[in-house]
Amino acid sequence: MVDVAVVGLGPAGRSLASRCAARGLSVLAVDPRPSAVWTPTYGIWADELGDLPETVVRARITNPEIRVHGHHPLNREYVVLDNAAAQAALPLDGVEVRQGRLTDDQVNALRDEADVVVDARGARPDGPEPDDPAPAQTAYGIVVPAAEAAPALQGAEALLMDWRTDWTTDPLPSGIPTFLYAIPLGSDEVLLEETCLAAAPGMAIPELRARLRQRLLARGVAQAVVDEPLDREIVRIPMRGRDHPPHEGVLAVGTAGRGGHLVTGYSVAHSLARADRLARAIAEGSTPEEVDVAVTADLFREAGLRALLRLDTAGTLALFEAFGRLPRDRQRDVLSRDSGAAGLGRAMWQMFAGMPHGARAELVRATVGSPRVRLPGRG
């Protein structure tokens, strides 16, 4: 018997396995590619780095902006992780590492080998489901030389969300809006990513690619740069994580459980922070029955997701314009997976109060109304 078995070595599993081993627990870890370097471009706020060393930072952005109808500097440092360095900072020294892809039943069977079994296999351990109807964030991004990205950034150091609608030539666009995420990666490279924050089902990648192309060409980025980038990134994040709970007696962490933020889709900072607390609890013999227990703030975040799934373009822009005007601490309440109900409730109320009357009514309808039903043959 080992103390802990962790299945899945993404940010959630690796940080937990590493922290458990550091506390002297015996750990078994299983992943189909245990030595692979994580491929997504992970961004977190600099104040969420915790005790990770400076080496894990690939790029540091002092003042990212949100642009909607106005410009909203966030005055909060954002960092892009160097994934190899982050993994090195979460060593697996002393961990028994097995290569394997486990089913739900095989994860459950590990309870014969370990006192605590943790499922960290992400939201879709069987691979992406074709025609997955679940709400998802999707994005299509290209990596280009920094000099070529300048017209897209339009003077900003980085754009966390640029909601302006130059992804279309329609002056009054309707339907699901998308935003540009434009982030320097260091080494004179910039990621330009067209993002659909949430849609059910997720917006198709070819649609996002077409919107990004339209937007970047309209801003004056060279066509050859758009069509032949240095690299590409495709994002698909199921917003509600896994669609079923783990076996009884198995803990789920990260996006295998409720570790993802229902509105932003982010989970990495939360997983990094959660790992040490969970490792300590396990080491002290007070393993919780469940990780990331549902709390009142999750109801607010779920309401936010419902709104995002139903608001039209104008409503979404009004919402993020109000978000851009929030004080920094309230913005943090909205963005953090760990904010409490009081702060988040205050932030949501302030956003609501800051919206024009018509947009408020649309937000109420989107949040509490019945889902839009698309009748067959009526588009």
Ligand X SMILES: Cc1cc2nc3c(=O)[nH]c(=O)nc-3n(C[C@H](O)[C@H](O)[C@H](O)COP(=O)(O)OP(=O)(O)OC[C@H]3O[C@@H](n4cnc5c(N)ncnc54)[C@H](O)[C@@H]3O)c2cc1C
If you write DSSP's letter for every residue of 139-165 in order, what string do you get?
EEEEEEEHHHHHHHHTT-S-EEEE---
In whole angstroms, the minimum distance from the beta carbon of 77 to ligand X comes to 15
In whole angstroms, the minimum distance from the beta carbon of 352 to ligand X comes to 26
Does residue 18 interact with ligand X by CB under 6 A? no
Measuring CA to CA, which residue among 280, 269, 286 is closest to residue 339?
A: 269
> Which of 18, 83, 267, 367 forms a contact with ligand X (CB under 6 A)?
267
**Cα Rg for the chain, rounded, in angstroms?**
21
Dihedral sign computed on CA atoms, order 184, 311, 240, 238? negative
If you write DSSP's letter for every residue of 86-146 in order, what string do you get?
HHHTS--TT-EEEE----HHHHHHGGGTEEEEEE-S-S-TT-PPTT--S-EEEEEEEEEEH
Cβ closest to ligand X, residue 62 vs residue 223: 62
Does residue 179 interact with ligand X by CB under 6 A? no
Residue nearest to ligand X (CB): 10
Among the residue ranges 144-152, 260-268, 324-332, 355-363, the one whose residues contact ligand X (CB under 6 A): 260-268
In whole angstroms, the minimum distance from the beta carbon of 92 to ligand X comes to 12
Does residue 237 interact with ligand X by CB under 6 A? yes
Measuring CA to CA, which residue among 316, 311, 343, 342 is closest to residue 327?
A: 343
Does residue 278 interact with ligand X by CB under 6 A? no
Does residue 132 interact with ligand X by CB under 6 A? no
At position 274, the amino acid (one-letter code) is R
Does residue 265 interact with ligand X by CB under 6 A? yes
Which residue is it, tokens 């962790």? 6
Does residue 177 interact with ligand X by CB under 6 A? no
Does residue 8 interact with ligand X by CB under 6 A? yes
Does residue 9 interact with ligand X by CB under 6 A? yes
In whole angstroms, the minimum distance from the beta carbon of 244 to ligand X comes to 14
CB-based burial, 261-297: b 16+ in 10 Å, e otherwise: bbbbbbbbbbbbbbbbebbeebbeeebeeebbeeeeb
Among the residue ranges 28-36, 63-71, 146-154, 299-307, the one whose residues contact ligand X (CB under 6 A): 28-36
At position 143, the amino acid (one-letter code) is V
Does residue 10 interact with ligand X by CB under 6 A? yes
Q: Give the binding site for ligand X (CB under 6 A).
A: 7-13, 30-33, 40-44, 101-102, 120-122, 125, 233, 235-237, 254-256, 259, 265-269, 271
